[in-house]
Amino acid sequence: MQKRKLGTSNLEVSALGLGCMGMSFSYGAAKDKKEMIALIRTAVDRGITLFDTAEVYGPFSNEELVGEALAPVRDSVVIATKFGFRLNPDGSPGWQGLDSRPEHIKQAIEGSLKRLQTDVIDLYYQHRVDPDVPIEDVAGAVKDLIQAGKVRHFGLSEPGVQTIRRAHAVQPVTALQNEYSLWWRRPEEEVIPTLEELGIGLVPYSPLGKGFLTGKIDEHTHLGANDFRSTLPRFQPEAMKANWALVDLLKTIAKKKNATPAQIALAWLLAQKPWIVPIPGTTKLSRLDENIGAAAIDLTPADRIDIETAAAHIPVQGARYPERLEQMTGR
């Protein structure tokens, strides 16, 4: 597996990471813990070094899973987790709101360190920007944690560009985690140019469109009530039917490259910038190997032009989030 550096930092990771959320949260029932530990360890064996989780995934259970799986190889991997939600006191799924007060961050880190069975978090993201807490205070709190040796790198997720600049002025931001894929390209407008200017890496989550760009989901797929995609406008049957044109495009390119649609979607992201590290999630070994195969696909500039020209003529239908969740992005 090739390596990449996130921006101009010294944080080097595998070209593809592994998003671990779906192993215990959000995409239906939690998967078998032993199987997921085996999958994470296989990912390490295959050369993946960046593993992504968050305290809200579960809550807590995903960090515990990742911590147990990576404990034997802790020194050779990079663990990223996130803070910023006020969780339910009884530990039930969901959250009560955002909370990035410095005192809350310094409580949250202790729980994450314990669950992840480590004494330092490699990359600590603010999960969503808290409008009630100045970002300078958030960056300052993480700076304190870095000086205390509990965190190595600071990250943000789904912020607006002014927030990025303000945070970066207090504590350099190593990486931004945003949704970015062929069916969500808004980061190209302002965010990616800002990251390039400041030397910040980009870690795209949902690089396969929450599974849609694999071609394995269509308007006939039943998404259970415990699958959060069932609440997303973009995953309603009519929207999926309209958006299938994007999958057809990926299939056409994939056929020419002897690849799969998922591999082309990931290879396209990797070809955008050398400091972009997608984190596709999976719970299946076959999909893990398929995703890893994307790193070996060489898309020429002409290939990219073909893909982007064709994609520009496909208007994606449906919002990516319900309004309540979309309001938590771009602040």
* Domain spans, the chain: 3-326
Q: What is the pLDDT of residue 116?
A: 98
Q: 5: which 2 tokens?
A: 């550096």
Active site residues: 57
Mean pLDDT of 69-83: 98
Contact 196, 164 (CB under 8 A): no
Q: What is the pLDDT of residue 141?
A: 98
Query: Predicted confidence band at 121 (pLDDT cuts at 50, 70, 90)?
Result: very high
Mean pLDDT of 4-30: 96
Tens digit of pLDDT for each residue in 190-220? 999 999 999 999 999 999 999 999 999 999 9
Fold of the 3-326 domain: TIM Barrel (3.20.20)
Average pLDDT, the chain: 97
Mean pLDDT of 178-185: 97
Tens digit of pLDDT for each residue in 274-321? 999 999 999 999 999 999 999 999 999 999 999 999 999 999 999 999
Q: Computed from CA positions of residues 277, 281, 283, 287, in that sequence, does the dihedral angle turn out positive or negative? A: negative
Q: What is the pLDDT of residue 307?
A: 95
Query: Predicted confidence band at 147 (pLDDT cuts at 50, 70, 90)?
Result: very high
